[in-house]
Amino acid sequence: MAAGSGMIIKCLLLFLSFSFSLNLFFLYLSFGRPSDRLTWTRTAALEAEAVASLSCSGHGRAFLDGIGSSQGKPTCECYACYGGSDCSQLLPDCLLDADSGSLLLFETYWKQKAESSAVVVSGWHRMSYEMTGTSLMSVELERVIRQLHSTVGNANAKRKFILFGDGSSQLLNAAVHALSHNSSSPASVVAAVPYYALFKDQTLLFKSENYEWKGDASHWNNVSGSSGKFIEFVTSPNNPDGNLRRRPLLQGPSTKAIYDYAYYWPHFTAIPTMVDDDIMLFSMSKLTGHAGSRLGWALIKDEEVYHRMASYTETNTLGFSHESQLRALKLLKVVLQGGGRDMFQFGYTTLSDRWRKLSTSLSLSTRFSLQKISAQYCNYLQRIREPSPAYAWLKCEMDADCERVLRAAGIMGRPGKEFGASSRYIRLSLIKTQDDFDLLLQRINALVDQEGVKSIF
Amino acid sequence: MAAGSGMIIKCLLLFLSFSFSLNLFFLYLSFGRPSDRLTWTRTAALEAEAVASLSCSGHGRAFLDGIGSSQGKPTCECYACYGGSDCSQLLPDCLLDADSGSLLLFETYWKQKAESSAVVVSGWHRMSYEMTGTSLMSVELERVIRQLHSTVGNANAKRKFILFGDGSSQLLNAAVHALSHNSSSPASVVAAVPYYALFKDQTLLFKSENYEWKGDASHWNNVSGSSGKFIEFVTSPNNPDGNLRRRPLLQGPSTKAIYDYAYYWPHFTAIPTMVDDDIMLFSMSKLTGHAGSRLGWALIKDEEVYHRMASYTETNTLGFSHESQLRALKLLKVVLQGGGRDMFQFGYTTLSDRWRKLSTSLSLSTRFSLQKISAQYCNYLQRIREPSPAYAWLKCEMDADCERVLRAAGIMGRPGKEFGASSRYIRLSLIKTQDDFDLLLQRINALVDQEGVKSIF
């Protein structure tokens, strides 16, 4: 009996010591782990994870500031042509938005990088007008941007001034403003057709005495020498047609160029050379896909031009969102891991695949044609790469109003006229979500199939 | 012995069951609690807490995107006139910045609200150009702004269009642009001296054919009827002097007013009435102190004016930072808890205390005088309140160059000339950190003491 008791006591002591050790272990897990020391960020983190975990059937997503969020119930926001509270319903008769230039295909990429790309903004984060010291710009962001250009080799950022903008949009007119300074007569602002509409709209907006919009650069090719100062916007690769435009049409001593390099990144184009121009514009919008951050930058050679542009942005909007700068820094640090290959490869693979599918479909058509883009050697990828443009620049070979034809087929594009071109052209966005592209391809296929049916009868 | 063994066994069983229960409890704490289910937000949360916990001796703080953050080592950024790696050194000979209009006194407030005001921005948060549906603006933020105006009773937001801006700064010229539309001759833009310099700078910036800067409104008081269209900026309470300006100086059928109500909140002024004007501008900068967010808004009565202003902002910068909008929504929801009393009371208490101290000090001076502001009944606080202006509008009674006098005393203010006023005036900021104010008061006291010394000898 006593021996039995002894054995029981021994067993119990063994259990107890095991249980006690477990107590200590759990005590450490509960209160001792560094990862459990979260205090004031926990609520925000929980909120973000709760919203992200909302199921939207793969055809949408919920955001922290979605409609209903004030009542603690953010709802799904569906991709184009999907509806229902969980985005599960395909809306077959809806007009598909292929107009937007939002690079939504990268949503998938950033979801894969959820952990490394998230950022917590504290209530007291950088409340001043100034960002770093007396500067309106983040010194760290500037550093990371320079590093990215150097890594990708697309633009020479060395010995350049960097100026941020509320999107590169703000920098378009900032550059025109700076270059038209002290002209005896208004400078003529031009761009070769087809051109991005904002060049025209912004130049016209302010009705400035210093500059005026003069349309298609090719009209002024032979007369520019005798007609005062010209400022030419050069977009490369070009929006809408994706062609590399390395030089302005207008040359001469009184001609200046503003280079819009928003699309000069390896997901959209081969990088055949490291560009090194006087004013070069870039944007988060077309680099990481964050159009909503409204953050662009200019690389500027000349100090006086830089100061005039900086003075323009400061008087216009008194600086650049500190929240956007903080987030851009985080995102670009993620991009730089592995020299950007991860993101650029993701974008290139997706876009070249889309281009191939669309080209194949339209190769059967006589009614529609696509712009020509060649495979080209890319210094960044160090190999020949297939085309992967942001947009299809579609031509209706038989219809004068291409917009009408596509609209009837359920596709809303951006009409050629907005680019100074004929209404036989239309721009179709290839950079939105996979759902958007799948539906676009399906409707284009249906249009091409109609041709086949018509040609049979 | 057997009885003893039984007792021991009982005790051990008791311990064991207690330890077992404790294990179950810890197991729940470690893995069962909802608060421990954080996944992709954890890293960002830890980073934010680590930076926030950096000790900067109470005279500075570190930010996630501070210099060195790319190397994982953000450093302290010190308040004016403090230095050293932990901001512990007072730099006695430094020039104190009392120029800036950054409402940094609210840093303390938002640190108190750390948990409720933090927000996590995911990598894929609202990447589109559009914010909600096809709108560039957050519907929820608009709703919360309307609610705040209704709660505070400072402005009638009912049946008004709301337009956001990249700071209210962007909306100044947007309003001038909209109001000067279709004028046969350029509209004259004016403001009564002393006025905020950006009215002038922005009007001059674009050299527009539609409007021109015509300076002090009081010069045009009697001639405005015969001189074409006038647009008058009315700031109330006024920057720099804090006086309520309820009506424009210029009246008449061809006169329009743009009301800058950035400071019309209960921390700066009594709210004697709910204003209800055609174009009313507000800003996060002077409401919650988040100047760096660059987010303002206009309440607009007329639909056509609204559309012209919206078209201006869209062409100018293509929308407003989504990160800033997300954070502003979070901050304003915190402000609205308890009807805003918490934040407004904090601001009012701090600023009225500062004003009292500065007034007391300067009451002994014959060399310097302050603007007069009276105690006034406030509809929001429902009692008579003491003055608590954002700025001291100091006059040097004996010196023509007030800026020089103050600079010699180690104080950098904003010279009267920038407000269209005499250089006998200078604006001193009272809204920065407590350190800034303490040093300002100390140096003002020293100046006043000098007078005493001089008058004795």
Q: Residue B448: what pLDDT?
A: 97
d(CA B447, CA A246): 63
Structure tokens at A363: 């190769």
Is the pLDDT score of A315 beyond 60? Answer: yes
CA-based radius of gyration for chain A: 28
B3 touches chain A (CB under 8 A): no
Q: Residue A25: what pLDDT?
A: 66
| B384 domain-assigned | yes
Q: Residue B184: what pLDDT?
A: 86
Residue B239 and residue B288 in one domain? yes
Q: Is the model more confident about B159 or about A19?
A: B159
Residue B171 and residue B56 in one domain? no
B18 touches chain A (CB under 8 A): no
Task: Give how far Cα B201 sits from Cα of A212, A316, B214, B220, B294, Å.
Answer: 21, 9, 12, 20, 18
Q: At what angle do helices A434-456 and A341-362 cross, to 10 degrees?
A: 20
Residue A47 and residue A168 in one domain? no
d(CA A243, CA B315): 25
A28 touches chain B (CB under 8 A): no
Is the CB of B138 less than 8 angstroms away from the CB of A2? no
Residue B377 and residue B330 in one domain? no
Residue A198 and residue A160 in one domain? yes
Instruction: Name the closest residue on chain B to residue A22, using Cα atoms.
Output: B23
Q: Residue B346: what pLDDT?
A: 98
> Which residues from chain A sit within 8 angstroms of residue B71, using beta carbons?
none
Stretch B99-120: mean pLDDT: 98
Among B44, B315, B324, the residue with its CB nearest the CB of A205 is B315
What pLDDT band is residue A420 in, cutting at 50, 70 and 90? very high
Residue A157 and residue A295 in one domain? yes
Q: Residue A381: what pLDDT?
A: 96
A182 touches chain B (CB under 8 A): no
| B76 domain-assigned | yes
> Looking at this protein, which amino acid is placed at residue A58?
G
Residue B436 and residue B373 in one domain? yes
d(CA A444, CA B8): 84
Last residue of a domain, one of A91, A120, A152: A91
DSSP for B234-274, please give it.
Answer: EESS-TTT-----S-S--STTEEEEEE-TT-STTTS---S-
Our CA angle for A273, A278, A284, nearest 5°, is: 70
Residue A281 and residue A304 in one domain? yes
Tens of pLDDT, residue by residue over B187-238, are: 999 999 999 999 999 999 999 999 999 999 999 987 755 668 999 999 999 9
Is the pLDDT score of B284 beyond 90? Answer: yes
What's the CATH number where A403 sits?
Answer: 3.90.1150.10
d(CA A267, CA A337): 16
A12 touches chain B (CB under 8 A): yes
Stretch A279-296: mean pLDDT: 98
Q: Residue B183: what pLDDT?
A: 81
Among A9, A46, A118, the residue with its CB nearest the CB of B12 is A9
Three-class SS state of A289: coil
Query: What are residue A13's DSSP bridge partners?
Result: none
Q: Residue A230: what pLDDT?
A: 96
Is the pLDDT score of B29 beyond 80? Answer: no
B15-24, B61-70, B370-379 — which is least confidently predicted? B15-24
Stretch A140-152: mean pLDDT: 97
String of b and e for B381-395 (b: at least 16 CB within 10 Å)?
eeeebbbbbbbbbbb
Q: Is the model more confident about A205 or about B23?
A: A205
Residue A349 and residue A306 in one domain? no
With a CB cutoff of 8 Å and minimum separation 6, the contacts of B124 are: A61, A106, A107, A110, A111, A114, A117
| A229 domain-assigned | yes
Residue A324 and residue A428 in one domain? no
> Which residues from chain A sit within 8 angstroms of residue B125, using beta carbons?
63-64, 292
What pLDDT band is residue A3 in, cutting at 50, 70 and 90? low
How far is B33 from chain A, CA to nearest CA, in Å? Answer: 10
> Looking at this protein, which amino acid is placed at residue A226?
S
Tens of pLDDT, residue by residue over A442-456, are: 999 999 999 977 765
How far is B362 from chain A, CA to nearest CA, in Å? Answer: 28
Dihedral angle sign, alpha carbons of residues B107, B110, B111, B114 = negative
- What is the interface pTM, i.e. ipTM, of the complex? 0.93
Last residue of a domain, one of B290, B323, B338: B338
Is the pLDDT score of A191 beyond 90? Answer: yes
Tens of pLDDT, residue by residue over A325-379, are: 999 999 999 999 989 999 999 999 999 999 999 999 999 999 999 999 999 999 9
| B254 domain-assigned | yes
B interface test, pick of A281, A316, A343 with most B CB neighbours within 10 Å:
A316
**Residues A356, A169 contacting (CB under 8 angstroms):** no
Is the CB of A123 less than 8 angstroms away from the CB of B131? no
| B357 domain-assigned | yes
d(CA B151, CA B382): 13
Is the pLDDT score of A34 beyond 70? Answer: no
What's the CATH number where B285 sits?
Answer: 3.40.640.10
Q: Is the model more confident about B33 or about A129?
A: A129
What's the whole-number average pLDDT of chain B?
Answer: 94
Residue A377 and residue A298 in one domain? no
Three-class SS state of B104: coil
Stretch A288-307: mean pLDDT: 98
Residue B283 and residue B199 in one domain? yes
Number of structural domains (chain B) is 3
Is the CB of B323 less than 8 angstroms away from the CB of A206? no
| A27 domain-assigned | no
DSSP for B273-307, please give it.
Answer: S-B--SEEEEEHHHHTS-GGG-EEEEEES-HHHHH
Last residue of a domain, one of A339, A357, A386: A339
Mark which residues 383-412 of A lie under 8 Å from B by CB: none
| B122 domain-assigned | no
| A24 domain-assigned | no
**Residues B98, B436 contacting (CB under 8 angstroms):** yes
What's the CATH number where B57 sits?
Answer: 2.10.25.30
Query: Residue B392: which domain range?
Result: 341-456
